[in-house]
Every structure is written in C-alpha cells, then in structure tokens.
Amino acid sequence: MKAPLHVHILGICGTFMGGIAAIARAAGFKVTGSDRNVYPPMSTQLESLGIALTEGFDAAQLAPAPDVVVVGNVMTRGQPVVEALLESRLPYFSGPEWLAREVLKDRWVLAVAGTHGKTTTASLLAWILEHAGLDPGFLIGGVPANFGLSARLGSSPFFVIEADEYDTAFFDKRAKFVHYRPRTVVLNNLEYDHADIYPDIGAIQRQFHHLVRIVPGSGRIIWNAADARLRETLALGCWTPLEGFARATHSDALWSAQPLPGAADYSRFEVLEAGRALGAVEWSLIGAHNMENALAAIAAARHAGVAVPAALAALTQFRGIARRLQLHGEVNGIRVYDDFAHHPTAIATTIDGLRRRAGAARILAVLEPRSHTMRMGIHEHTLAPALAGADEVWLYCPADLGWDTGTVLAALAGRGHGCADIDTLAGELARTAQPGDQVLIMSNGGFGGLHNKLLAALQERATPA
C-alpha cells in the first residue's frame, strides 16, 4: 500500500495552522510540524492526533524531506528552516493555499469575514449546520463549546471557515480569505485594524473587494447593512445577490431582530425577515453584537438549505465559545471573565453586553494592549471612550509597549490605572474587587496567566488566616 503523503507544517501551534494540521491528519496525510513555542494545550492536542512536533526552526527538520511544506505566516526570511526550504526546491504553500487545494476545492465554502465577530458567527453557523444533521467541516479561530475543537474535516459538502483579512505568508501578501473561493460569504463589519500591514482603511477595503470579486453569481453575500464601510466596498463592484442584516429595521436589511420584553441584555430576541416575525431565540449569549452575529448565521445557513425554524432551534442550544465573555472563575461573589476583545469597538460592545446583564454591579475592566495595532498606539484616542462603560479600568503597560498610555488613563478621569507588572496587577485587582464585582479581563493572548493569578489572590484573601 502506498505510504500517505508527508506534510510538514512550519508554525504549527497557532490556532489556524493547528487546525490545518488536524484537518490534514483526518484527510489521511502524514503530518509533522514545528514551532518556536511548542507547549500545551495545542502541543498535546496535536500529539494526540499522532503528529510529531519539533521545537524551533532549525534546518535539520527538513531531513528526511517531506513531500510538501506548509508555511505559516509567522515564518520570515532569515529563519534557518525557511532558507533551507527555499534552497531545497521542495514544494511549499501557505496554509490557506494548501487548504484550498487539498480540502476546499470540492466543498461548498461558507466564509465569515469582518473586523469583529468572525469567530462567534462562524461557530454559530457551523453549529446550525451540525444541528441540522449536515456534518460540516470547519476551521474557526476559537473553540465552540458545542464541538470542543476548533477544526474538523467533516463529511458533507459544507465547510465553514473564519475568513481572516490578515496577510497569508512571507511570500504572499494577499489577505488569507482570497484563497477560499467561497459560495456563501458573511461580511460582518469593516473597520481599520492590522496597522502593521495595512496603511489605511482603503487598503483593507480593497482586500474585501477582492473577496467579493470571487463569489459566484449563484452564491450569496450576507452583509451588515448598517456598516458604511461595507457599503462603500460593495459599491466598488458586486456580482452576487446580497442579503442585508441589521439589529434594527433598515432599508437595505432583509433580516432584522429586536429584543423581547425584559431582555435588555439581548439574551432573548425575535428574528424578522422583511419585517415579518419568524420566531424567537432564547440563549446563553448576551449583547446586541451577538444578536447581529446570529442574524448573519441564520441567513448564511438558509442559503445552504437550513430552514429558519431549524436555525432558531439550534441557537437555543448554542453553548458559547472559549474566551468570548467566558466566566473563568468566581471567588467570594467576584466573577472573573475572559474575553478576546482587542479593538475599541469590540471592547465597547463587550462591556455594554456585560453591563446589560450585570446591571448596577461594578465592572472592573482590565486590558492588555497586545495586538500589533494596539502596540503601535493606533487606538490611543478611541480607547478611553471604548472603556468608559466600566467603573474602573486597568491597562497593562509593559516597558516595551511603544506608546504612553497616560492620555488614555487621564481621559478616564480617575477611573483609569496603569500597571507594568502582571503579579502587581493581580494584587491590585484582588485588593480592589468586592463581592458582586464583575472583573472583565480582555486580551488576544494569555495575559501572563493573570486570570488564574487573580483568582488565587482572591482565594487567599477570602480564606481566614
């Protein structure tokens, strides 16, 4: 019997590349990989699939030679394995290109794009298809609780993918999503982000226009009709039927929704098509932004053949996503949440959602400005307004941040605090927090283990001497 093709993945431990590794293994390939930091939980997940991992980017990992090398976008020229790869003449592809060639080419791809809400909307869409018995494949930048994993091959024609606009690889500076050739596209919103690769909003709009150009005429584009930047982008040219959605009635929105009485946190809402009520959702998520994400998922699922009542039934059983306003722990009535928000709009909507649920309880917001755009200070003047809904705010201000957070802290008028050390920050929070407080920790990374350090400090203070 012929041995399976050997795929070696550089930069395998990121969520996206780790997902590709799992899908490749399920598709019958022999998979190995390497990364600079090989540690749990991704390392254990991959090893449980029979994927051998190498620590670091030494050139020796290309011997014996694999059949193909998949290159993650963390890889750069000058790394020994990259230089050896270019000298070797081994075939190599970016992650999105390999996925498109080997997995997506025969699938009905449902791509979820936008500055915010991609992970949640893609998770909702995959779950609706799953609940309908369609066994979709998916690759998502988070872990939906209903699945317990971020990627799978699936057995049906349908494949849901979180379609990122970040660049593809050191040798391909197009947005990742242009590789996916989707039939159904969700455009959630469009704001300036990724300042390390895009000079202005127009450059990002151009990439979204490239995505729009490859959706077939028999496909469907589900778009946020209240988003002016998306409207401008679609005006550059569109050859595919559009279905708009908005949280309230809008002239270009086929889909809309409204919270039900007594559900100011949007945990219960009614779904309308062309103003006609189709049914209601009662679920564990909160926030108007998640109601919008649900509308987009319902519309995309219907394009794939799932009737609206079936989609509504699925949403009532949706159990959330890791790191999306996820309760990390509670000590002495103090609740500690983990959230991925790292852009002012996402920060504001997350705080608003929590406020609607928590009511008058104090919200202590803690932010790690970790993304490239945050570290460049691009959001310096919009960050304070985004955080204004919290009662107290802490910014993590490491020495290498690159900009002075003093302007943001001053604008918060005595409610803002800066801290340059994780352990000190945990101690300050533990001393400040009172029973009933909601501590909202926001970062697109691990925040130096702050969540567990804070819970430990709270437990220590709550335990009698």
Task: Give percent above pLDDT 70 in the chain.
Answer: 98
Measured distance CA(25)–CA(15) in Å, rounded: 15
Split at pLDDT 50, 70, 90, the class of 325 is: confident
Whole-structure pTM value: 0.87
Ranking 17-26, 113-122, 186-195 by mean pLDDT, the lowest is 186-195
Q: What is the 3-state secondary structure (H, E, C) of the chain?
A: CCCCCEEEEECCCCHHHHHHHHHHHHCCCEEEEEECCCCCCHHHHHHHCCCEEEECCCHHHHCCCCCEEEECCCCCCCCHHHHHHHHHCCCEEEHHHHHHHHCHHHCEEEEEECCCCHHHHHHHHHHHHHHCCCCCEEECCCCECCCCCCEECCCCCEEEEECCCCEEECCEEEEHHHHCCCCEEEECCCCCCCCCCCCCHHHHHHHHHHHHHCCCCCCEEEEECCCHHHHHHHCCCCCCCEEEECCCCCCCCCEEEEECCCCCCCCEEEEEECCEEEEEEECCCCCHHHHHHHHHHHHHHHHCCCCHHHHHHHHCCCCCECCCCEEEEEECCEEEEEECCCCHHHHHHHHHHHHHHHCCCCEEEEECCCCHHHHCCCCCCCHHHHHCCCCEEEEECCCCCCCCCHHHHHHCCCCEEEECCHHHHHHHHHHHCCCCCEEEEECCCCHHHHHHHHHHHHHHHHCCC
**How confident is the model over 42-70, as pLDDT tens digits?**
778 888 899 999 999 999 999 999 999 99
Split at pLDDT 50, 70, 90, the class of 183 is: very high
Q: Is the pLDDT of residue 1 over 60?
A: no
Domains defined along the chain, listed by start: 6-94 (3.40.50.720), 103-315 (3.40.1190.10), 326-462 (3.90.190.20)
Split at pLDDT 50, 70, 90, the class of 465 is: low
**How confident is the model over 56-106, as pLDDT tens digits?**
999 999 999 999 999 999 999 999 999 999 999 999 999 999 999 999 999
Neighbours of 88 (CB within 10 A): 14
Split at pLDDT 50, 70, 90, the class of 323 is: confident
HSE of 34, CA atoms in CB hemisphere, 13 A:
20
Ranking 4-13, 219-228, 352-361 by mean pLDDT, the lowest is 352-361
| Mean confidence (pLDDT) of the chain | 91
Looking at mean pLDDT, say which of 38-47, 228-237, 279-288, 366-375 comes out highest.
228-237
